[in-house]
Structure 1
């Protein structure tokens, strides 16, 4: 099954917070797999764009993302397995629930609603249940 949309790659290194490093990683990924729309973001600088206090890790940054079900990351472990980071849990992802994170329920609600519309998730995944609380 082809990947729809983009693939977000997050990382965390405050010593290399300039966006040029993200572009370099995107170029490498695109050369490796050109059929995917790669989006690379160093979470060490994203707090500035989002108006938050500095994040302490990539996992910490995910706590500030708009939806609970998208605040999930997977990486390959040194042993060859997978490690999952899900600071807001996995239930909403597995239950097909679209729910705003606490901050986007109140302070940033308009951003959350615009994002839902622009992504057309309800049309793409008709079994998705939107929960506002």
Structure 2
């Protein structure tokens, strides 16, 4: 199968009961500016392009949100615990992007999508959410081209920041995506 548009990604997700359950469960928290992101989206695209069924297991399901009024890690853990109570079979990870800039040593983010744009790889800088009518929203600050072409390259935040470049390289070695999805092409930092 070929994926050429954001609408095709949205249709893939809409037709995936498990992904829709994850999105609906995350939505129940009513977090501000929330998204289920990163590998949750990328793996669906790559699994589809590789013809994988069943899906590749995920080490975690990343839920991000943006709440500058409560940046305590304890609140994140409370939300994570609530998601685990609702769907204990899902490996939830919840982060408030209003505080994560401090953890990452970079300037503050302005929103959850701004934070997603500063993920290490363009193919991972993707997020999904549901609006009030349960319509799927796709955040792709660097577009979908790299994800649908199975290209792993650094986002500008990592490519243009020598202090951050090692994180990208470490992730490449740790994740070893090519061993799971052979069509993946990895672009090193120049």
Is structure 2 residue 65 aligned with structure 1 residue 11? yes
CA contact (8 A) 2:169 2:188 kept: no
Distance 1:16 1:104 in 2: 27
Is structure 2 residue 177 aligned with structure 1 residue 125? no
Distance 1:4 1:51 in 2: 27
Structure number with the bigger relative contact order (C-alpha 8 A, sep ≥ 6) is 2
Cα-to-partner distance string for 1:34-90 (whole Å, 9 max, x where unaligned):
222111100000111111111110011112110001111100111211011111111
CA contact (8 A) 1:8 1:38 kept: yes
Following superposition, which runs of at least 4 residues in structure 1 exceed 6 angstroms of deviation?
none
State how many pairs are aligned: 133
**Aligned match of 1:52:** 106
Distance 2:63 2:186 in 1: 25
**Aligned match of 1:42:** 96
TM-score, structure 2 as length reference: 0.66
Report how far residue 4 of structure 1 moved. 2.1
CA contact (8 A) 1:69 1:99 kept: yes
Q: CA RMSD in A?
A: 1.4
1:90-129 to 2 correspondences below 5 Å: 90-106=144-160, 107=162, 108-129=164-185
TM-score, structure 1 as length reference: 0.92
1:24-43 to 2 correspondences below 5 Å: 24-43=78-97
Distance 1:71 1:109 in 2: 16
Distance 1:42 1:103 in 2: 19
Report how far residue 109 of structure 1 moved. 1.7
Is structure 2 residue 112 aligned with structure 1 residue 67? no
In structure 2, list runs of 5 or more residues that go unmatched. 1-53
In structure 1, list runs of 5 or more residues that go unmatched. none
